[in-house]
């Protein structure tokens, strides 16, 4: 593999588990706040810590929002985790700010009637056959969140979870993936998901080489 | 596309809330070693919390708790190192408690790889510590541990510190309500009357606290049989059960506990079994 996977650091958070999970699946993470590092990275992970408002402010200050949009536009494999997935969408009720707006949809608080935040394991059902398995497959993942995405393009929804109400727990559009849960805390299946996502990096780097030699 | 929308709608209608209850082994640690080591497991080093954590993960534990029972300043760096080594190998949630006194203590443990910190005595002395932790790290990171003992004269339960020896002069249910109001993500509720007795959890205590707070409650203290776990997880009681000795001494395996609970209709994550 060429290059390193940029793990975006935008505040007080535990990035160690994510980095260790990435190392475990054989990719080389680098924790960064630098747009230049993002530009050079072979893939980007936007992890899930903090609040949307403060996070967007901090990322703007660091020049990261533009760098992330550019990386995504160029097809760099991208994984948003928890808040990192939510920031792929537009309006964020938390902090009343705009996210990256890479995918259509908005982010709002879970509806009352359930304990908020959702903290714990829940089921993820795959919506269609794809890199993660067959339509209807169930997997268990570890969730920690108070907000969910809504108004998401159905074509982008790869997995659904119910916590009182149903929400998208996996979204995919080409090389942009987002997961509402924490794959780095979801045991063996979490690592398998990361490994499957990591394969995008290899695929992307393999393709131009094949084209050049043809 | 219409087909995409239809497919998503069909799955959305069918997908169910798993409502998993959690089984959480607790490791008491002193000077970086498990206090009550497992004898039956074929571990390289049965006293090494990292080895034990990896084993419990393999057995299907939903989360892990490390409790530093010495909780001295000297033991802090040992604990931080232990958490870091565990986080390198175990990819399920890890809560760490014992002697957490400040936001700086919390940060150190969270950066080392803990997902949650459990606060007990320091929060009683300074309840604003809960707000500060929630403000800085989010409520999902902050677990408030309450050691409760029956006080008939109070008509309920009192809060205790120092291993149940010292009364804090607080009502346990009221303290749980205040902790939740200040943003605590979970209440780890230990019955000091039942702790070590193997007579089962104090179910009345669980019910009283669960009815009073919107926050998940973790039952602790008294589990001696698998049916005690079933009792603790009945509706209106706990969201998770914590147990130490029944797993450590090899009476039951976590995998057996989860099968037992699942067979009695309690939703269990069985992904790994």
Please name the residue of chain A whose CA is at the shortest distance from the CA of residue B108: A14
Give catalytic residue positions of A.
82, 182, 184
Contact A120 B20 (CB under 8 A): yes
Number of H helices, E strands in chain B: 11, 11
Every domain of chain A and the residues it spans: 5-213
Spatial distance between the Cα atoms of B215 and B255, rounded to a whole number of angstroms = 27
Beta bridge partners of B119: B144
Contact B14 A122 (CB under 8 A): no
Phi, psi of A172, deg, nearest 5: -145, 130
pLDDT band for position A87 (cuts 50, 70, 90)? very high
End-to-end Cα, chain B, rounded Å: 38
Q: What is the pLDDT of residue A76?
A: 97
Q: Which fold has domain A5-213?
A: Rossmann fold (3.40.50)
* Over residues A176-192, mean pLDDT: 96
Q: Splitting chain B (273 residues) into consecutive groups of 10 residues, what average pLDDT does each group show?
A: 87 94 93 67 72 92 92 76 93 94 92 93 96 89 96 94 87 98 96 92 98 95 96 96 85 93 96 57
Structure tokens at A120: 């714990």
Where helices occur in chain B by DSSP H, the ranges are 2-14, 49-58, 73-87, 103-112, 121-125, 128-137, 172-181, 203-212, 226-232, 245-248, 254-263
Spatial distance between the Cα atoms of B69 and B55, rounded to a whole number of angstroms = 21
Higher pLDDT, A211 or B268: B268
For A75-106, b where at least 16 C-beta lie within 10 A, e where not — what string?
A: ebbbbbbbbbbbbbbbebebeebebbebbebb
Spatial distance between the Cα atoms of A95 and A107, rounded to a whole number of angstroms = 11
Please name the residue of chain A whose CA is at the shortest distance from the CA of residue B104: A12
Structure tokens at A152: 């998401």
pLDDT 10s digits, A141-182: 999 899 999 999 999 999 999 999 999 999 999 999 999 999
**Cα dihedral: A167, A113, B96, A32 (round 10):** 40
Contacting residues of B for A191, CB less than 8 Å apart:
91
Q: Mention every residue, 6+ apart, whose C-beta is less than 8 A from residue B5.
A: A154
Higher pLDDT, A139 or B31: A139
Contact A186 B91 (CB under 8 A): yes
Residue A209 reports pLDDT greater than 60: no
Contacting residues of B for A185, CB less than 8 Å apart:
91-93, 115
Contacting residues of A for B271, CB less than 8 Å apart:
139-140, 187-189
Spatial distance between the Cα atoms of B84 and B80, rounded to a whole number of angstroms = 6
Higher pLDDT, A31 or B43: A31
Q: What is the pLDDT of residue B219?
A: 98
Instruction: List C-alpha distances in Å: B170 to A4, A138, B104, B124, B125.
Output: 53, 45, 26, 9, 11
Residues 127-146, chain A, touching B (beta carbon < 8 A): 127-128, 135-136, 139-140, 142, 144
Question: Using an 8 Å Cβ cutoff, are A66 and A60 in contact?
Answer: no
Closest partner residue to A123 (CB to CB) among B18, B112, B115 is B18
Q: Which of A47-61, A82-96, A194-208, B26-40 has the lowest mean pLDDT?
A: B26-40
According to DSSP, residue B185 is labeled S
Please state, for a pLDDT cut of 90, what percent of chain A lies above it: 78
Going by DSSP bridges, is the β-strand pair B33-34/B94-97 parallel, antiparallel, or unpaired? unpaired
pLDDT band for position A97 (cuts 50, 70, 90)? very high
Give catalytic residue positions of B.
28, 147
Instruction: List C-alpha distances in Å: A174 to A69, A192, A201, A209.
Output: 14, 19, 12, 20
Spatial distance between the Cα atoms of B126 and B167, rounded to a whole number of angstroms = 16
């Amino acid at each position: 593999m060429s290059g390193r996977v940029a793990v975006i650091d935008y505040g007080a958070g535990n990035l160690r588990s994510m980095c260790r999970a990435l190392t475990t699946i054989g990719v080389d993470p680098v924790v960064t706040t630098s747009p230049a590092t993002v530009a050079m990275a072979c893939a980007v992970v936007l992890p899930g810590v903090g609040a949307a408002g403060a996070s967007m402010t901090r990322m703007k200050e660091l020049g990261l929002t533009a760098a992330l949009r550019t990386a995504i536009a160029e097809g760099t494999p991208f994984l948003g985790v928890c808040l990192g997935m939510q920031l792929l969408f537009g309006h964020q009720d938390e902090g009343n700010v705009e996210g990256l707006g890479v995918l259509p949809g908005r982010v709002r608080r879970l509806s009352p009637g359930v304990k908020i935040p959702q903290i714990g394991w829940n089921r993820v059902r795959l919506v269609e056959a794809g890199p993660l398995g067959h339509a209807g497959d169930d997997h268990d993942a570890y969730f920690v969140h108070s907000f969910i995405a809504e108004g998401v393009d159905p074509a982008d929804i790869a997995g659904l979870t119910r916590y009182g109400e149903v929400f998208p727990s996996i979204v995919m559009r080409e090389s942009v993936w987002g997961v509402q849960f924490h794959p780095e805390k979801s045991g063996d299946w979490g690592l398998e998901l990361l490994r499957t996502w990591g394969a995008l990096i290899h695929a992307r780097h393999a393709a131009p080489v094949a084209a050049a030699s043809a | 596309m219409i087909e995409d929308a239809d497919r998503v709608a069909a799955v959305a209608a069918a997908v169910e809330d798993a409502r998993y209850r959690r089984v959480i082994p607790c490791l008491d640690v002193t000077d970086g070693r498990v206090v009550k080591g497992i004898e039956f497991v074929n571990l390289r080093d049965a006293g090494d919390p990292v080895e034990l954590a990896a084993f419990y993960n393999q057995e299907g534990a939903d989360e892990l708790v490390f409790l530093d029972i010495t909780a001295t300043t000297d033991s802090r760096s040992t604990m931080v190192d232990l958490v870091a080594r565990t986080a390198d190998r175990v990819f399920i949630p890890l809560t760490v408690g014992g002697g957490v006194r400040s936001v700086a203590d919390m940060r150190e443990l969270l950066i080392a790889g803990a997902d949650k910190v459990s606060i007990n005595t320091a929060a009683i002395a300074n309840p604003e510590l809960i707000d500060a932790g929630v403000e800085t790290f989010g409520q999902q990171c902050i677990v408030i541990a309450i050691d409760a003992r029956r006080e008939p004269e109070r008509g309920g339960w009192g809060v205790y510190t120092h291993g149940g020896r010292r009364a804090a002069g607080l009502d346990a249910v009221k303290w749980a309500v205040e902790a939740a109001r200040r943003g605590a993500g979970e209440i780890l509720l230990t019955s000091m009357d039942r702790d070590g007795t193997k007579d089962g959890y104090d179910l009345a205590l669980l019910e009283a606290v669960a009815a009073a707070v919107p926050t998940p409650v973790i039952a602790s203290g008294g589990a001696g049989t698998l049916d005690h776990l079933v009792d603790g997880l009945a509706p209106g009681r706990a969201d998770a059960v914590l147990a130490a000795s029944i797993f450590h001494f090899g009476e039951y395996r976590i995998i057996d506990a989860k099968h037992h609970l699942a067979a009695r209709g309690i939703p269990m994550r069985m992904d790994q079994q």
